[in-house]
Amino acid sequence: MNNSEEPCFVISIAARMVGLHAQTLRYYERVGLIWPSRSNGRQRLYSEADIERLRRIKTFTEDMGVNLAGAEVALKLMARIEELEHEVRSLRSTIEEMQKR
C-alpha cells in the first residue's frame, strides 16, 4: 500500500478537506461511489486517494453539472485510461529493450 492509499482521515476531516458535508460522504459510500476503509472500531477512514476521488466527484457534480451516475461513468473511464496508459508505457519499454538486442 503506497502513501496515497493509506487510510488516515476520519470522515469529519475528509469532509472538510473536500468541502462537502459528512452526510454527503456517507451517501456516496452508500451508492458505491467511494469505499473508505474502516478502523477496528468501524470508523470510516479516508486515504489521500479517496480524497482525490471525492474532489473529482465534486468537480463533476458541482462545477460541470454532471449527475452522480455520469460522475461514476467518468471516473471508471478515467481509471481505464490510466490502466491503458500504464500498459502503453510498459509495451514501449519492452519494445525498447527488444530493439537494443
Which tens digits make up the pLDDT trace of 26-56? 999 999 999 999 988 999 999 999 999 999 9
- State the residue range of the domain holding 58: 3-100
Three-state DSSP string of 17-49 = HHCCCHHHHHHHHHCCCCCCEECCCCCEEECHH
What mean pLDDT is predicted for residues 76-93?
A: 97
- Give the residue among 43, 15, 42, 41 at the shortest CA–CA distance from 28: 15
Contact 44, 38 (CB under 8 A): yes
- Domain of 71, CATH number, reads 1.10.1660.10
On the 0-12 / 13-18 / 19+ scale of CB atoms within 10 A, 54 is buried
Question: What are the φ and ψ backbone dihedral angles of 46, each rounded to 5 degrees?
Answer: -105, 140
Say how many domains are in the chain: 1
What does the mean pLDDT of the chain come to? 94
- Tens of pLDDT, residue by residue over 50-71, are 999 999 999 999 999 999 999 9
Please tell me the pTM assigned to this model: 0.82
